[in-house]
Amino acid sequence: MYAIIILTITIITTFAQKQSGGAPCKQASDCGGNTRGICYMNCYLLNATESGYCICFNEYGAPDCSYIKQSKYKLGALQIGLAFININGVGNKLAGYDARFLAQLLMGLSIWPVSIIACCLACCGLIKKKDSKTTPGIILGCIACIALILLLCAWGWGIADGAAMLNDPSWVDVNGYPLY
């Protein structure tokens, strides 16, 4: 059920891309200067009273080129690379998707509290009691399996998101601008 909700949110957000460029301008400084975009004017069709329009460079967005887009290589590499040390979702955090980041981070870090609890129970001698009908070892095994499943899901989700950031041209940040 949660997977369907997350997939729906992902599909809705990835197809809502915003415009880059198009604001009216008279000179390059109206488009963020020479480093962010250019002011395109057709000399044959425009007279002195008309204006051109902004064309943003690849790294910038918004009609006046004032928005700095995120690099897909930076986000994808952080998303995939840090997943291998259980720090999942960093690429999503930088893209502005805080809920995805938090879900991936908590799923990835879930192995640590379970490991500590299992270690404490094992060290305190609670693994096997003579009078008990249920062996605490079975309970620990179930808890460890749940944590391992969460960890594997977090890795898979993080790596899949990172691959999508690197390869999917429709991937956008939280403000609707595609990654460059």
Lowest mean pLDDT among 45-54, 63-72, 74-83: 45-54
Reported confidence tier of residue 74, pLDDT bands at 50, 70, 90: very high
Neighbours of 61 (CB within 10 A): 28
Per-domain boundaries in the chain: 17-68, 71-180
Comparison of pLDDT for 32 and 113, the residue scoring more: 32
Sorted by sequence, the CB contacts under 8 Å of residue 82 that are 6+ apart come out as 88, 90, 158
What is d(CA 152, CA 138) in angstroms, rounded to the nearest whole number? 21
Helix axes 111-123, 98-109, angle to 10 degrees: 20
* DSSP codes, 114-155: HHHHHHHHHHTT-S--SS-SS-HHHHHHHHHHHHHHHHHHHH
Helix (H) or strand (E) holding 15: none
Asked whether the predicted pLDDT for residue 90 surpasses 80, the reply is yes
Q: Are 88 and 108 in contact (CB under 8 A)?
A: yes
Rg for the chain, CA atoms, rounded: 25
- Sign of the Cα torsion 125, 108, 93, 5 reads negative
What pLDDT, on a 0 to 100 scale, did the predictor assign at position 73?
A: 93
What is d(CA 128, CA 139) in angstroms, rounded to the nearest whole number? 11
What pLDDT, on a 0 to 100 scale, did the predictor assign at position 6?
A: 55
pTM: predicted TM-score of the whole model, two decimal places = 0.67
Q: Are 175 and 18 in contact (CB under 8 A)?
A: yes
Comparison of pLDDT for 7 and 158, the residue scoring more: 158
CA-CA distances (angstroms) from residue 114 to 41, 144, 145?
Answer: 63, 7, 10
pLDDT tens digit sequence for 102-114? 988 888 887 777 6
Reported confidence tier of residue 15, pLDDT bands at 50, 70, 90: very low
Asked whether the predicted pLDDT for residue 49 surpasses 70, the reply is no
Q: Is 48 exposed, middle or buried (0-12, 13-18, 19+ CB in 10 A)?
A: exposed
Asked whether the predicted pLDDT for residue 98 surpasses 70, the reply is yes
